[in-house]
Structure 1
Amino acid sequence: MIDDIWVDPAVRALRPDFAVLAVGAYGLRNGPTDDRSRAWLAGAAGEAVGVEDPKVEAWREAYRAFGAKPQRTRPSVDALVRRMPLPEINLVVDAYNTVSVRHGLPIGGEDLARYEGAARLVRAAGDEPFEVVEKGEPAVDHPEIGEVVWRDDRGVTCRRWNWRQCVRTRITEETTDALFLLERLAPMSLEELGAAGDELVDLLKVITPGVRVESRLIEQG
């Protein structure tokens, strides 16, 4: 799965400093938030980067580059560091949110069982389906033309780079195989990106000692 992930040249042209560390985790035993993950979240709240951290500002700049307004639709890490205490979702989501705010790093989590085809980061044509829930009912939205989106063969899985995930591929307590996308812009170093990936894997191994993990760094060029 992770060997097929790709980034469109149009996105590469927008931010040549972009890199993504893809982590696949197989055989997870997810579950509701417990005392372990509450401790992770509490610790991360005390160690989180600030909203003015250069790594967070880099994502606001990236949003402006494709026409988004980051004060209205915030990059995921920007939204998270403003939301303390961190929300309790489930063990796996708690784990990657913990790593995200500590490093100032957007992290997306996807349920591989609900994926269709390879993940790819592209600039949208504008007609791709994006599955959401509005007023408690399933609905389909569409990205703006030129918007940076993650997608698979069925449609958009995350709008505005890392702003909002579709309901179809989100990680639930029933998720067993997952894809994590750790997204880096300068000034974050590739070394810190790798360290964040290692921290995430360590937490996943606490959740599921026998989890099988693979990773791949996707850089520009």
Structure 2
Amino acid sequence: MTRPLHVSDEVRALAPGFGHLAVEAHGLTNGPSDDASSALLDEAARRLAERLGGRAPQDDPHIAAWRAAYTAFGSKPSRTRNSAEALARRALADGGLPRINRLVDVYNAISVAHLIPVGGEDLDRIQGGMRLVRATGAEPFVTAAAGAETIEHPDAGEVVWCDDEGVTCRRWNWRQGVRTRLTEDSVSALFLLERMAPMPLDELTAAGAELAEALHKACPEARIEIGEVWGDR
């Protein structure tokens, strides 16, 4: 059974069209990016280009809805882009998508192919339950600057994912912290797929199933469970 995720009433009021789906995996084997994970990213970029049909990512109705949500909590969506838009822009650029490690490549490919934010957290590094809240501004966020770990704090009112130890992702899904990110040593993971209306919840379900299938192919011995979709239809 996937661990529960809590969405605060303040976030629900801010973005009533929000929905999410969790995929939990144990017994994973990670490692450097390889031909298989690279091929997934290339295919995802092809699917994205076909979906957009020459439009810019921000002109897609789903990305436009995320931009509106970012504006609602005081963030400038052209300056701090949601993760799906940021990855899509890289996928369409000459340099293409980055290769990080096998597991990150897999969930980045799902994000780009479906144009939805997808995050991956190391379950062994999460402290307590995960929750989506509006920050007080006092919560610690471990990030990297000039090659060294440093602690920042979110803006008051900013939407953040956090656990009992602090923020795991700032500005909803803009920047993940280093404390819980997936590394080549990770063996258990929580993948979080997020949607805004007007994207149908059925599409979120399809993306979760595709992620689970890709994880099975990459890690045949892994135990993978797809949670229930949360959100209004």
TM-score band by shorter chain is over 0.9
CA deviations 1:54-73 (Å, max 9, x no partner) are 11111111100100001111
- Where in structure 1 are there 5+ consecutive unaligned residues? none
Q: How does 1:60-209 map to 2 (within 5 A)?
A: 60-84=67-91, 85-209=96-220
Runs of 4+ in 1 over 4 A off after TM superposition: none
The code of the aligned residue for 2:136 comes to A
Rounded to whole Å, the distance in 1 between the matches of 2:31 and 2:215 is: 12
The answer (yes or no) to whether the contact 2:124–2:188 under 8 Å persists in 1 is yes
The 3-state SS of whatever aligns with 1:178 is strand
Rounded to whole Å, the distance in 2 between the matches of 1:205 and 1:181 is: 17
Structure 1 residue 8: deviation in Å? 0.4
Rounded to whole Å, the distance in 2 between the matches of 1:137 and 1:32 is: 22
Rounded to whole Å, the distance in 2 between the matches of 1:218 and 1:110 is: 19
The code of the aligned residue for 1:143 comes to P
The answer (yes or no) to whether the contact 1:22–1:218 under 8 Å persists in 2 is no
- Where in structure 2 are there 5+ consecutive unaligned residues? none
Rounded to whole Å, the distance in 1 between the matches of 2:22 and 2:14 is: 20
TM normalised by structure 1 equals 0.97
Rounded to whole Å, the distance in 2 between the matches of 1:37 and 1:119 is: 28
TM normalised by structure 2 equals 0.92
Structure 1 residue 78: deviation in Å? 0.6
The 3-state SS of whatever aligns with 2:29 is coil
The code of the aligned residue for 1:81 comes to A
Q: Please provide the CA RMSD for this pair.
A: 1.3
Structure 1 residue 113: deviation in Å? 0.8
Rounded to whole Å, the distance in 1 between the matches of 2:2 and 2:26 is: 12
For 2:29, the equivalent position in structure 1 comes to 29
Structure 1 residue 210: deviation in Å? 1.7
For 1:43, the equivalent position in structure 2 comes to 43
CA deviations 1:126-148 (Å, max 9, x no partner) are 10000011111211000001100
CA deviations 1:168-196 (Å, max 9, x no partner) are 00011111000011001111111100000
The code of the aligned residue for 1:135 comes to A
The answer (yes or no) to whether the contact 1:25–1:212 under 8 Å persists in 2 is yes
Rounded to whole Å, the distance in 2 between the matches of 1:33 and 1:4 is: 30
Rounded to whole Å, the distance in 2 between the matches of 1:72 and 1:3 is: 33
The answer (yes or no) to whether the contact 1:6–1:218 under 8 Å persists in 2 is no
Asked if 1:218 is matched to 2:225, the reply is no
The 3-state SS of whatever aligns with 1:11 is helix
The answer (yes or no) to whether the contact 2:212–2:226 under 8 Å persists in 1 is no
For 2:63, the equivalent position in structure 1 comes to 56
Rounded to whole Å, the distance in 2 between the matches of 1:56 and 1:99 is: 15
Rounded to whole Å, the distance in 2 between the matches of 1:90 and 1:154 is: 25
For 2:18, the equivalent position in structure 1 comes to 18
Q: Identify which range, 210-219 or 39-48, moves more after superposition.
A: 210-219
The answer (yes or no) to whether the contact 2:209–2:226 under 8 Å persists in 1 is no
The code of the aligned residue for 1:130 comes to F
The answer (yes or no) to whether the contact 2:141–2:151 under 8 Å persists in 1 is yes
